[in-house]
A = this chain, B = another copy of it.
Amino acid sequence: MRQGDGAIIRIAQLGAGRMGSVHARNAAANPRLDLAWIVDPRADIAGALGHETGAQVATLAAVLADPEVRGIVVASSTDAHLDDTRACLAAGKAVFCEKPLDLSLERLEAAAADFTRADVPPLFVGFNRRFDPHYRLLKQRLDAGEIGALESLQIVNHDPETPPPAFIPGSGGLFKDFTIHDFDLVRWLVGEPVVQVFAWASCLIDPEIAALGDVDTAKLLLRTASGKLCVISNSRRSGYGYDQRIEAFGAGGALRVDNVTNSAVSAWRAGGAQADAFPYAFIQRYAGAYQAEMDHFADILAGAATPETGYAASRAALALAEASALSAREGRPVALDKE
Contact = CB atoms under 8 A, between A and B. Distances in A.
A254 interface: yes
Contacts of A149: 204
Contacts of A154: 154, 156, 231, 233
B252 A137 contact: no
Contact of A231 (B134, B233, B257): B233
A272 B269 contact: no
User: Within the oligomer, what is the number of copies of this chain?
Assistant: 4
Question: What is the predominant secondary structure among interface residues of chain A facing chain B?
Answer: mixed
A306 interface: no
Interface band, chain A: 35 or more
Interface string A148-164: 01011010101000000
B31 A2 contact: no
B276 A275 contact: no
Interface string A98-142: 000000000000000000000000000000000001100110010
A33 interface: yes
Contact of A240 (B51, B229, B235, B272): B272
7 contacts: A29-B31, A151-B217, A200-B229, A218-B229, A219-B221, A239-B251, A273-B275
